[in-house]
Amino acid sequence: MDGTLHDEPQDEERGEILHLRGPVLAGPDREIDQVWVDNGRISLHPPADRRRRGVRRLDGFVLPGLVDAHCHIGLAAEGAADRDGTERQALADRDAGTLLVRDAGQPGDTRWIDGREDLPAVVRAGRHLARSRRYLRGYGRELEPEHLVTAVREEARRGDGWVKLVGDWIDREVGDLAPCWPAEALTAAVAAAHAEGARVTAHCFGEDCLPDLLAAGIDCVEHATGLAGDVLTLAAERGVAVVPTLVNIANFPSFAAAGAPRYPAYAAHMLALHERRYATVWRAHEAGVPVYCGTDAGGTLPHGILAREVAELVVAGLPPVAALDAACWAARAWLGRPGVEEGAPADLVVYGEDPRRVTGVLAAPRAVVLRGRVVLVR
């Protein structure tokens, strides 16, 4: 790539200056010609001492680092990943341009990542809070409704402003998806999280758990394949976000096949949800529901696949720039993280083509800059 230019020997104490010549995409319809990176921060103006310190130039279409809004760094198929496995997951996301992750629940302690300048930033939701014997073994804290409020308070204090509930799962007595929590327990739990300054999100595949979750004041719904009708309208009115995780929803037919021998109603239900997945996402977007991009990576899904999820949102009918917004500018604002602005941390991704028009280019960034350091160049 056009990439490296040193004017004069660098001042090692002050560090390298980066000059990114764009267009720099500061928003879906906002372009800046160029930005500079000095001491890990974005500057919209050239540093006065750049000729003395030396400059490295990167050219291309520049975005703020991508966001995976539903990811599980630190989660392996059997539960918590070891440190080496967690590092590999984080590096895979980073090298794909994902520099901010909302970790949507996992059982291990990944706080050590915060001390690593070469790994993405992680916004944690603590551990999944699940009903006893109603979730994947080894993933969540399993408990009964009377203990939910206490657990929510604990996870809110362990997380980074989020708590994750398992809103529905297969009920073996019913033979189908069913809500995990009574309405009064949800209302008290969401109120407790909000009192702790945390937002609440919930795993939800089916339809039946959604009315109680929205009535309780939920902030976000993961998957949301059952979102429709009056509940969809209410979600739009209240600004409840949805993270569809379509790359995971693609697995519903295999989930159905595994459950069909014992639970035929569940299997038929999962297939129906899968069949209308794209229409569900499209209607949510059209209704004004905030839709964000998340892969559900971790467990059995690989990391570094955010480009696939953006492509799925386009298949669902979102315009390419809206699908990109769901993984970039809007997602950063939703999580309270800056994009391209004066003094912001220099987390940037460079592409050879305009990703607003050619979303497939997201799969192969030309360069990745994390906290002002070039960590990847192709």
Residue 22: give its domain's CATH number: 2.30.40.10
As a whole number of angstroms, the distance between CA 366 and CA 374 comes to 11
Mean of the per-residue pLDDT values of the chain: 94
pLDDT band at residue 203 under the 50/70/90 scheme: very high
Residue 242 identity (one-letter amino acid): V
Measured CA to CA, the distance from residue 127 to residue 129 in angstroms comes to 6
Write down the pLDDT at residue 265.
98
Residues 231 and 366 in one domain: no
6 in a domain, yes or no?
Answer: no
175-197 residue pLDDT tens: 999 999 999 999 999 999 999 99
Q: Do 315 and 359 have their domain in common?
A: no
pLDDT bracket for residue 13 (50, 70, 90): very low
10 is a domain residue: no
Q: Is 153 found in the same domain as 58? A: no
What does 265-314 look like in DSSP terms, one character per residue?
HHHHHHHHHHHTHHHHHHHHHHHT--B-----EEETBPSS-HHHHHHHHH
Domain co-membership, 212 together with 353: no
Whether residue 58 sits in one domain with residue 44: yes
Distance (Å, rounded) from C-alpha 351 to C-alpha 369?
12
Both tokens assigned to 313: 């949102």
Whether residue 254 sits in one domain with residue 301:
yes
Give the separation between CA 184 and CA 212, rounded to whole angstroms: 9
Report yes or no on 9 lying in a domain: no
- The confidence score (pLDDT) of residue 54 equals 86
Does 71 lie in the same domain as 53? Answer: no
Q: What is the pLDDT of residues 52-91, one digit of tens each?
A: 788 999 999 999 999 999 999 999 999 999 999 999 999 9
294 and 351 inside one domain = no
Write down the pLDDT at residue 15: 60
Instruction: Provide the whole-model pTM.
Output: 0.95
Token output for 306: 């955010």
Q: Which of 317, 334, 351 is the last residue of a domain?
A: 334
User: Do 191 and 313 belong together in one domain?
Assistant: yes
Q: Is residue 144 part of a domain?
A: yes
Is 310 contained in some domain?
yes
CATH of the domain at 96: 3.20.20.140
Q: What average pLDDT score do residues 353-372 get? A: 97
Provide φ and ψ at 154, rounded to 5°. Answer: -65, -45
Distance of CA 233 to the CA centre of its chain: 24
Q: Compute the average pLDDT of residues 318-329.
A: 98
What are residue 270's DSSP bridge partners?
A: none
- Least confident range from 37-41, 49-53, 147-151, 341-345: namely 49-53
Q: Do the domain assignments include residue 293?
A: yes
| Mean per-residue pLDDT, 194-206 | 98
Amino acid at 127: R
What is the CB-side half-sphere exposure of residue 155 using CA atoms within 13 A? Answer: 35
pLDDT cut 70: percent of the chain above it: 96
Do residues 147 and 294 both lie within one domain? yes
Token pair for residue 108?
A: 């291990």
Kindly state whether residues 158 and 191 are assigned to the same domain: yes
Domain count, the chain: 2
Question: Using 50, 70 and 90 to split pLDDT, how confident is the model at 293?
Answer: very high
| Spacing of C-alpha 76 from chain mean position | 17
Categorize the per-residue pLDDT at 16 as very low, low, confident or very high, splitting at 50, 70 and 90: confident
- In this prediction, residue 4 has a pLDDT band, given cuts at 50, 70 and 90, of very low
Tens of pLDDT, residues 76-130: 999 999 999 999 999 999 999 999 999 999 999 999 999 999 999 999 999 999 9
Handedness of CA 338, 362, 248, 71 (dihedral sign): negative
Q: Is residue 153 part of a domain?
A: yes
Tokens at 341, concatenated: 């602005």
pLDDT at residue 12 in the model? 39
Question: 190 and 236: one domain?
Answer: yes
Q: Which domain holds residue 306?
A: 66-334
In a domain, 7, yes or no: no
